[in-house]
Amino acid sequence: MRIIAFGDLHMAVQVCRKIPDISTADMLIATGDLTNYGKKKDAKIVLEELLEINPNLLAIIGNLDKFEINDYLEQLNLNLHGQARLLQSQVCVIGAGGSNITPFGTPSEFSEQEITEILMSGYQQGLDYIALSSPGKLSKIPIILISHAPPHNTAVDRLTNGRHVGSVAVRKFIETYQPDLCITGHIHEGRGEDMIGKTRILNPGMLQYGGWVNIEFNKSTLHATLK
């Protein structure tokens, strides 16, 4: 199985076409900020092009997407926000869109308590899916967290001035539940990777600058590469 993840599109969806073999990937995951303070009509442009590239798509909103885009993703059955999907009964993906509170009052911001609830909703749904489809295999199915907001105090949530602005709730969730992988975004200058316990965290940066993540699951091994 091959998954391609990217985020912070900010309407520059055409850049996706430069990703090698994107049309044949088993799943595309857009990790938020599909638009620039956009509404449903803006997201429609982005999503229609993504679905034309590859119909296997999941997405979450970013803090710069108005919340009506979350509802639109739900209508299209593409939404991962507060939800989980079990991909080919091999990999569980859970999502948390938006961000923690910023000084800028962007459209989709949540308190840390709200982020905790969003994360737990997706995590519990994921565990339920695993239990139903693969009884007794909970420890063998990797879990990937897709969080627009990066975990606090990591290499991937640091502004140019060195300040860490990620989510405390996302960090606590990772510390407690140790998903195998976390793909994040939000902080463009935070492109890079880090570890919290056994969880590898990747921020590909803004799509316009060419960043994306290649994820492969083969022979019970999950491998992710920052591109």
According to DSSP, the β-strands at 84-87 and 91-96 are: antiparallel
pLDDT computed for residue 220 by the predictor? 87
Share of the chain above pLDDT 70, in %: 97
pLDDT computed for residue 135 by the predictor? 67
10-47 confidence digits (pLDDT tens): 999 999 999 999 999 999 999 999 999 999 999 999 99
Cα–Cα nearest to 194, from 210, 212, 168, 174: 174
User: What's the order of all strands across the beta sheet hosting 91-96?
Assistant: 84-87, 91-96, 143-147, 181-183, 199-203, 192-196
Average pLDDT, the chain: 96
**pTM here?**
0.97
- What is the spatial distance between Cα 180 and Cα 159, in angstroms, rounded to a whole number? 25
pLDDT bucket at 140, cuts 50 / 70 / 90: confident
pLDDT bucket at 88, cuts 50 / 70 / 90: very high
The residue extents of the domains of the chain are: 2-226
CATH architecture of 2-226: 4-Layer Sandwich (3.60)
Flag whether pLDDT at 137 surpasses 80: no
CB 84 within 8 A of CB 129: yes
Which element (helix H / strand E) includes 212? none
